[in-house]
Amino acid sequence: MPNIYEANNARYQSMKYNRCGKSGLLLPMISLGLWHNFGDHDDYENMRQMCFTAFDHGITHFDLANNYGPAPGSAEINFGRILRENLHPYRDELIISTKAGYLMWDGPYGDWGSRKYLLASLDQSLSRMGLDYVDIFYHHRMDPDTPLEESMMALDSAVKSGKALYAGISNYDGPHLLEAARILEELKCPFVINQNRYSIFDRTVEANGLRDAALQEGKGLIVYSPLAQGLLTDKYLGGVPADSRIRRDGRFLTTDALTPHRLEQIRQLNDLALERGQTLAQLAICWLLQNKAVTSVLIGASRPEQIVENVETLGSVHFTQEELNWIDQISH
């Protein structure tokens, strides 16, 4: 029997959408990232149900990169299968993004920001997903050795060839964003969005000028790791669970991060969340969404229920100034 999926008719009633900078593009306040849990060793049926749950709740944006997996490329392959088998009738309701900039294949042409790599990678991504175009194509990180003009002209070529609708940059700082915007404006390329890490515990985009530059230039900002790889949840307050990411995969978070000081910060933030009638994870997402620079928050999930919990945050994005000051005091 085919895996038949029909989207929820009420899917747009609960989600809220923000304009991406000064562009015509609207993004859901919550987007689904496929960085984790969509690789070769993950459960395919769980992937399907997470995508269905997301779209049924108005999450129209699915974010990928060439190297997401593991293995690299497998997230795009798995998502492409879901598109082909289930989501294809809704393609024009979806925003699908991918990126290139980190190591993808061996040799001198499979990494960083050359025109050769970026355009070849986009062709590979489209092939893996079975798509004619993606909605957003990002340069995934700054390249200190390739001229910025070369990388930006590659993004421009991707758009003008019809293989991408919009250009984006990821993991840039403020000064390089300003220069990229200047180049792409001269090329009349629709550069609309920045993607960077941002959370209560990681204020890098504030320190390096990216947040303010995005506001200044009228560009969107979509943020990832809103829960600081799980630190901004209550899961570690009673110790390290056996099934936690720290134990499963120590690449991005280790037990060294759970210092007594950090645990005390988590406890205090959790107390504030409870006072607001939220989980700590919900508070962390709401804190980002109340920021006028933030267009959308990219969430990761390991099961559909987590997506529903995150969407439920949208009714509580308001903070008092006293609450915001207290969060800053706790987290610094």
Class of the domain covering 17-233+289-318: alpha beta
The span from the CA of 167 to the CA of 193, in Å, is 7
pLDDT tens-digit profile of 287-318? 999 999 999 999 999 999 999 999 988 888 89
1 band by pLDDT with thresholds 50, 70 and 90: very low
DSSP string computed for 27-95: EESEEEE-SSS-STTS-HHHHHHHHHHHHHTT--EEE--TT-TTTTTHHHHHHHHHIIIIIGGGGGG-E
**Whole-prediction pTM:** 0.94
- 98-107, 236-245, 265-274: range with lowest mean pLDDT: 236-245
The span from the CA of 50 to the CA of 44, in Å, is 10
Average confidence (pLDDT) over 29-56: 97
- Six token digits for residue 83: 């598109």
> Which one, of 270, 299, 302, 275, lies nearest residue 29 by Cα?
299
